[in-house]
């Protein structure tokens, strides 16, 4: 039985599920496989089949998904429905045609399509989505796995945060602290790797890494860093020590504006501070992005979509 606000019967959805094959797979991750689900009326959705389950999972799954399904924000991927049967754990989200930020930055088309304004808009959108989870949800939601593959894009390259709540959903509900680190190597705050304790500030660190990834077009663990014993944060720190931090920008990025870049790098450097206390909140990050980064070069997109 499917729950949610989908305008289809469970029978109609199950009928479509039975037609899914490997050709419909649009993503795979630690939580399961994602399929593109096309209904008869032409509507498209992303269906996530959860494969990781813990003992006593069913009751917790249902309770948490009721919360996640009630969370709506323009910069969060919308959870439209779910199925919690003894044999299947399925989540249905709105389908976003732009794919993931990871695909745009590192896929076949690579990041040539992303000019400076597009990159800023993606960063601001992701920041607003994460800030909403941290500051406007009750209970608050710590994402635990902010990375480029969890930032999805619509047809206008507007970003939405996905997979929020899943790391908590799939951990041991009896332990209020994640004892096994749930994030992705390269994005993890130093204290998170040491303690396994996820906080808003560990999300802020991951967001800072994401900003550097968007700026550079390089993965956080790019081979060029690893050869030097660095990650993307170490590379930034090295460049900053020689006053060369502007070299971090992807050479394919068109329309770069130096004033905005300096302001954005200042925000990123604060976010990836080794000390959690020195990192800003996501609410503050959004304020800084809007006042210091976007103001010097307002784009038509930003003017029409700012909140």
**Does the annotation mark 115 as catalytic?**
no
Which residue in 41, 102, 145, 222 is the catalytic one? 145
* 290: its two tokens: 């809007």
Beta bridge partners of 37: 45
| Cα separation of the two ends of the chain | 37
Q: Does residue 139 have a cis bond before it (omega within 30 degrees)?
A: yes
168 is in an annotated binding site: no
Q: Which residues are annotated as a binding site for ATP?
A: 52
Hey, which residues are catalytic here? 145
Q: Which residues are annotated as a binding site?
A: 52
């Amino acid at each position: 039985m499917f729950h949610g606000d989908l305008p289809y019967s469970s029978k109609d959805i199950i009928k479509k599920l039975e037609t899914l094959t490997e050709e419909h797979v649009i993503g795979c991750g630690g939580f399961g496989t994602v399929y593109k689900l096309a209904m008869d009326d032409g509507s498209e959705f992303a269906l996530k089949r959860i494969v990781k389950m813990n003992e006593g999972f069913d009751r917790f799954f249902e309770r948490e998904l009721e919360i996640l399904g009630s969370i709506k924000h323009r910069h969060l991927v919308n959870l439209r429905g779910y199925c919690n049967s003894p044999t299947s754990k399925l989540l249905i989200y709105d389908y976003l045609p732009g794919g993931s930020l990871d695909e745009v930055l590192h896929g076949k088309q690579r990041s040539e399509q992303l000019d400076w304004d597009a990159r800023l808009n993606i960063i601001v959108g992701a920041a607003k989505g994460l800030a909403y989870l941290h500051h406007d949800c009750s209970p608050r939601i710590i994402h635990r796995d902010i990375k480029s593959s969890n930032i999805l894009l619509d047809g206008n390259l507007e970003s939405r945060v996905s997979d929020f709540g899943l790391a908590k959903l799939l951990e041991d509900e009896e332990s209020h602290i994640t004892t096994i680190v749930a994030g992705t190597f390269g994005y993890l705050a130093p204290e998170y790797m040491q303690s396994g304790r996820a906080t808003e500030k560990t999300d802020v660190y991951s967001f800072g890494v994401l900003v550097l990834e968007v700026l550079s077009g390089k993965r956080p663990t790019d081979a060029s860093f690893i050869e030097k014993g660095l990650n993307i944060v170490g590379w930034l720190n090295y460049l900053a020590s020689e006053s060369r931090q502007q070299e971090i920008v992807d050479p394919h990025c068109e329309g770069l504006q130096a004033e905005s870049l300096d302001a954005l790098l200042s925000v990123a450097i604060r976010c990836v501070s080794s000390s959690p206390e020195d990192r800003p909140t996501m609410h503050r990050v959004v304020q800084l992005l809007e006042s210091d980064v976007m103001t010097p070069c307002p784009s038509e997109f930003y003017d029409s979509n700012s909140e």
